[in-house]
Amino acid sequence: QVQLVESGGGLVQAGDSLRLSCVVSGRPSTTYAVAWFRQAPGKEREFVGGVTWSDGNPYYDDSVRGRFTISRDNVKNTVDLQMNSLKPEDTADYHCAASWGGYSAYPILPKQYEYWGQGTQVTVSA
């Protein structure tokens, strides 16, 4: 029903910036929210930031607030994650995901998202 494809990952140095993009296809109009999650080796998957599809209201985890900016373009059907002042702690596999909604106003749990992209790797060296 919904497909998501991430791109933009890479190898950067601490303090650098990256912009990740998620293309939402299929039936993007059925989504309530699209969010970015990340998972580092040996760590649980964690919420990074999300955006409600209709209103474009972003929300973030405290660990990235002020450094990362999430935005959506419902014409291009993309959700971007602008990452600034990157830290080695940001190293992870980044996935975008789409939620049907009905859980909460600002879903942050992986189980609240039905569709997932394949991921894009972000590596930040010290």
Task: Give the model confidence (pLDDT) of 38-49 as tens digits.
Answer: 999 999 999 999
How many CA atoms lie less than 13 Å away from 15 in the CB half-sphere? 1
pLDDT in tens, 104-121: 999 999 999 999 999 999
Q: What's phi and psi for 8, nearest 5 deg?
A: 110, -5
Whether 31 and 53 have beta carbons less than 8 Å apart is answered as: yes
Any bridge partners for residue 87, and if so which? Answer: none
Beta strand pairing status for 18-26 and 78-83?
antiparallel
Beta carbons of 78 and 24 less than 8 angstroms apart: yes
Is the model's pLDDT at 28 over the cut of 90? no
User: What mean pLDDT value characterizes the chain?
Assistant: 95
Report residue 88: phi and psi, to 5°: -55, -30
Which residues is 46 bridged to in the sheet? 38
Whether the predicted pLDDT of 102 surpasses 90: no
